[in-house]
Amino acid sequence: MKCALCSNTIPKTRKRSAKYCSDECYYESKKDRSSRRYALISAAIVEIKKNESILGYMYSVGSMNKPINADDLSSYQFNFGLSTGEHFDKQKGPCKVVGKYAYHINPDKSLIVWKLK
């Protein structure tokens, strides 16, 4: 059987289920898996923080009684498929939560953003 990392032959002294020829190959592979997992997780966190800052800006614009549109989010490359939760409001209907902000898009594409407590 061949090592999953370096393709050397796995010594017979190791278990039959061994995937690596040595502890060094095992730990090197483990470090690689860990760094890939971290990159995947941190990319999602960065995207959530970006969405949250965009909603924070839209919240401040909305608090000045200026109309905001869902297309405004698109112009800032807002990721509509990413949220940290969902909420159903009796008056507004289904809402998405991103960090400390929530938003609702009306059928006429007007946007309502509010800050959570």
Per-residue pLDDT of the chain (117 residues; tens, 9 = 90+): 899 999 999 999 999 999 999 999 999 999 999 999 999 889 889 999 999 999 999 999 999 988 899 999 999 999 999 999 998 988 888 999 999 999 999 999 999 999 998
Is pTM, for the whole model, over 0.95? no
The residues with which 111 forms a beta bridge, in sequence order, are 105
